[in-house]
């Protein structure tokens, strides 16, 4: 696990999550196992931890502990697996969203702008959809939508036109080829910020990240016990907004719904335990610069 991924807000997240040493906990983003290892330190002999990860590289980091269970799957299937293993309700769910340092630093995965690699970007290498397929086969209007919605890119239309012209002449197969096109759409000195926006948009689409997050959050209503905890660490505003709205209003728009019969505001399934998201301190950011965009929200399951 050394060097695989530096867990962000490690102590803060596990402090918020573990309220019962003999409870059942779920780490839906196992990765290098940093958060899972810390959770296990806090558990007693009867405690249990179930971890999810869809990346085959992460599975290699499986922890040898009788209280630990590893499931290779996207966390959007959390409820089904927990039901199968008789683990509902659970005492807490932890999600550390985004991509791991290992995924970024492994050139052939195609996540990083630092390497010229195949346009892959799959977190689950069993998936058929890749960034290469999106760039070369998606209709232009769909590409525009992806760049606008997932990266707030003002140049989405002109960029898509360039991509469309290029793919007619020659297939766009590598991150380097894509970045050459991206360079034409941004000012000198701002290339890498623009690259990051485009790569984020493609990665979100490849892995259906926002859809998976919504499904997992909705399932927490059914799997988290009363007074149980939901702890989510996000890395960009799209994720954080979904988490914030779900906790506050029980939906993803943030609009408080009303009871059909009495007209009163419907009660959310969770109560936020922090008014503002918890952010890493200067010391943590100095040690791990990838932590600087992290935002953690903590909520407690309300009584039904």
Return the pLDDT at 103.
Answer: 83
Q: Is the same domain home to 168 and 292?
A: no
pLDDT above 90 for 118: yes
Return the pLDDT at 304.
Answer: 80
Report the pLDDT averaged over residues 223-250: 97
Dihedral sign of CA atoms 203, 243, 229, 268 in order: negative
* 148 vs 108, residue with greater confidence: 148
- The answer to whether the beta carbons of residues 248 and 240 sit under 8 Å apart is no
Q: What percent of the chain has pLDDT over 90?
A: 82
Query: Residues 222, 223, 225, CA angle at the centre, nearest 5°?
Result: 100
131: Cβ contacts below 8 Å, ≥ 6 apart: 110, 119, 120, 121, 202, 203, 206
| Rounded Cα distance, 34 and 43, in Å | 15
Q: Is the same domain home to 185 and 218?
A: no
Q: Is the same domain home to 48 and 183?
A: no
Domain end marker among 166, 192, 207 = 207
Task: Say if 1 falls within a structural domain.
Answer: no
Query: Rounded mean pLDDT of the chain?
Result: 93
Report the pLDDT averaged over residues 177-193: 91
Return the pLDDT at 264.
Answer: 57
Task: Say if 3 falls within a structural domain.
Answer: no
pLDDT band with cut points at 50, 70 and 90 for residue 166: very high
pLDDT band with cut points at 50, 70 and 90 for residue 28: very high
Q: Is the same domain home to 17 and 157?
A: no
- The shares of helix, strand and coil residues in the chain, as percent rounded to the nearest 5, are 45, 15, 40
CATH number at residue 244: 3.40.50.150
Q: Is the same domain home to 217 and 84?
A: yes
Is there a cis peptide before residue 281, judged by omega within 30 degrees of 0? no
pLDDT above 80 for 63: yes
Q: Is the same domain home to 94 and 213?
A: yes
Return the pLDDT at 2.
Answer: 46
Q: Is the same domain home to 202 and 117?
A: yes
pLDDT band with cut points at 50, 70 and 90 for residue 99: confident
Q: Is the same domain home to 131 and 264?
A: no
Task: Say if 294 falls within a structural domain.
Answer: yes
Q: What percent of the chain has pLDDT over 70?
A: 95
Say which range, 47-56, 177-186, 249-258, has the weakest mean pLDDT.
249-258
pLDDT above 80 for 1: no
Dihedral sign of CA atoms 7, 3, 98, 269 in order: negative
Domain end marker among 184, 207, 230 = 207
Return the pLDDT at 189.
Answer: 82
Report the pLDDT averaged over residues 102-110: 84
pLDDT above 90 for 98: no
pLDDT above 50 for 84: yes
Report the pLDDT averaged over residues 7-22: 97
- Domain of 71 in residue numbering reads as 10-101+209-301
CATH number at residue 190: 1.10.150.170
Task: Say if 221 falls within a structural domain.
Answer: yes
- The residue written with tokens 């505003």 in the block is 237
Dihedral sign of CA atoms 115, 118, 119, 120 in order: negative
Domain end marker among 207, 236, 262 = 207
Q: Is the same domain home to 151 and 121?
A: yes
Q: Is the same domain home to 123 and 262?
A: no
Task: Say if 4 falls within a structural domain.
Answer: no
Q: Is the same domain home to 200 and 61?
A: no
Domain total of the chain: 2
Q: Is the same domain home to 96 and 242?
A: yes
Return the pLDDT at 3.
Answer: 53
Report the pLDDT averaged over residues 148-157: 95
């Amino acid at each position: 696990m050394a060097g695989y991924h530096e867990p962000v807000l490690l102590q803060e997240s596990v402090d918020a999550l573990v309220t019962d040493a003999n409870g059942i906990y779920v780490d839906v983003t196992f990765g290098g196992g940093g958060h899972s290892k810390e959770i296990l330190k806090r558990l007693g002999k009867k405690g249990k931890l179930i971890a999810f990860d869809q990346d085959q590289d992460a599975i290699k980091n499986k922890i040898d502990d009788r209280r630990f269970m590893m499931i290779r799957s996207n966390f959007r299937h959390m409820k089904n697996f927990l039901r199968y293993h008789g683990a509902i309700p659970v005492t807490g769910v932890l999600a550390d969203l985004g991509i791991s340092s290992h995924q970024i630093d492994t050139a052939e995965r195609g996540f990083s702008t630092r390497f010229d690699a195949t346009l892959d970007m799959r977190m689950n290498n069993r998936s058929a959809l890749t960034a290469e397929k999106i760039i070369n086969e998606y209709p232009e209007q769909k590409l525009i939508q992806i760049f606008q919605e997932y990266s707030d890119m003002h140049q989405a239309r002109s960029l898509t036109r360039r991509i469309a012209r290029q793919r007619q002449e020659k297939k766009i197969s590598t991150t380097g080829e894509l970045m050459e096109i991206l360079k034409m759409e941004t000012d000198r000195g701002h290339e890498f910020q623009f690259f990051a926006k485009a790569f984020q948009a493609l990665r979100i689409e490849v892995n259906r990240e926002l859809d998976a997050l919504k499904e997992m959050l909705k399932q927490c209503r059914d799997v988290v016990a009363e007074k149980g905890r939901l702890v989510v660490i996000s890395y960009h505003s799209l994720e954080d907004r979904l988490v914030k709205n779900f906790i506050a209003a029980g939906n993803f728009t943030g609009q408080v719904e009303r009871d059909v019969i009495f007209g009163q505001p419907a009660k959310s399934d969770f109560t936020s335990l922090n008014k503002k998201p918890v952010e890493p301190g200067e010391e943590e950011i100095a040690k791990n610069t990838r932590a600087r965009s992290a935002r953690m929200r903590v909520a407690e399951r309300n009584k039904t």
